[in-house]
Amino acid sequence: MEHNIWKTGLELAQRVASFCLCTVIESTGSVPRRAGSSMIVRSDGSTMGTVGGGAVERLAREEALRAIAEGKPRLRTFDLNDPDAEDTAAVCGGSVTLFFNVHAAARVAHVFGAGHVALPTVRLLASVGYAVKLYDESAQHANRERFPDAVEIRIGDLAKLSVEADVRPPDAVVILTASHETDFEIVRAFKNRLPAYLGVIGSKSKAAHYRQLLAEEGWQPSEIERIHSPIGLEIGSRTPEEIAVSIVAQMISLRGPSE
């Protein structure tokens, strides 16, 4: 069981998912589980493992969900001696102390295109705390040798991959392909699920053309305004490295205060 707990935790971390590891660190009296017993609580409330069952496990799950929401670890002791206690109402005799260790999902940046600008952009994004998922049509360009900092690399048709990509509302999407048509298809894939940041590389004329096409397709002005194109801050960037700095600086400047 313990092996499965750690395996599940590793899989969740690799998927950049939030979860809480609840561990019994101290127990006294007649309690069902001893120190070291663990339970994983996922952000959707599902669990794996056990810290004793019954009321304690129910309360541990509730506390774990609060810990995930706040992004903060905590200790909690449950008294199993008092039948009138509001939380446990237990009489088995004893107490159990749990440590709630939160694994908060990292910020995720989905980068489409593995060209010259993507190289420094992925490296810089990883250095400032983003988990980078890279998408490209060619394994020759998108591979571990060129992009060791990416947590995931997917190869295939970019328009299709953009539809399939598991992009959450807090995520960032950075579009850096060499094709105007492909860029536009990727943008369209996020019509009803705009991430916190969506940037498209290109000139001002290209950006104006995109905005006109999106308006003709029924996009609302408020939606179109959330697309950052030309991508990045205006810092006079020219080289791929300078463009990468402008992109990441813009993403940081737009992050919420809690991030």
10-residue averages of pLDDT along the chain (259 residues): 74 79 82 75 88 83 90 86 51 77 86 97 93 95 95 95 90 94 94 93 91 93 94 94 97 70
Residue 258: its pLDDT value, please?
A: 43
Q: What is the number of other CB atoms lying within 10 angstroms of the CB of residue 131?
A: 21
Domain layout of the chain by residue ranges: 2-103, 107-254
Looking at domain 107-254, which CATH architecture does it have?
A: 3-Layer(aba) Sandwich (3.40)
What whole-number distance in Å separates Cα of residue 175 and Cα of residue 39?
39
pLDDT 10s digits, 27-80: 776 655 567 789 999 888 899 988 877 788 888 999 999 998 888 899 998 877
User: What pLDDT sits at residue 50?
Assistant: 86
Task: Return the pLDDT at 227.
Answer: 95
In this prediction, residue 29 carries a pLDDT of 63
Contacts of 195 (CB under 8 A, 6+ apart): 110, 167, 168, 169, 170, 171, 172, 173
- pLDDT of 104 reads 76
